[in-house]
Amino acid sequence: MKNTVKNTIYSATGLALLGLNSAHATADSVFGKDKIGVNGEQGTLIEAIQRYINTGMTFLSLIAVLFFLWGGFNMLTAGGDDEKVKKGKTVIIQASIGLFVIFLSGSIVNWVLGLMA
């Protein structure tokens, strides 16, 4: 379990840093100051990136909720099997950590993009 939690944290941190690096690289360009259209709306490149990040966070949050449900299903259908209960608890704990990392990384990226605007 320690390796799974550690790998989840490392992966989420790496993705957050990659997102920050990509956002910083595109926000400094002159193109970022121009008005562009995304889904029929006009806005800056930074606003478009923020919309994509919010969409991605919504998608990842839905996946985390599905993992919550899977963990709860494992616990409910354990039928006295301690291993299945333990597996369900592990899935719920990992989904909680993942949900926390999703919201934290999205908030940090939006905050940094807000500073650049």
Distance from C-alpha of 18 to C-alpha of 82, rounded to nearest angstrom: 39
Residue 29: predicted pLDDT: 43
pTM of the model: 0.58
Nearest to 95 by CA among 65, 54, 115, 59: 65
| Distance separating the N- and C-terminal Cα atoms of the chain | 41
**Tokens 């592990």 found at:** 90
Parts of the chain with a pLDDT under 50: 23-33, 38
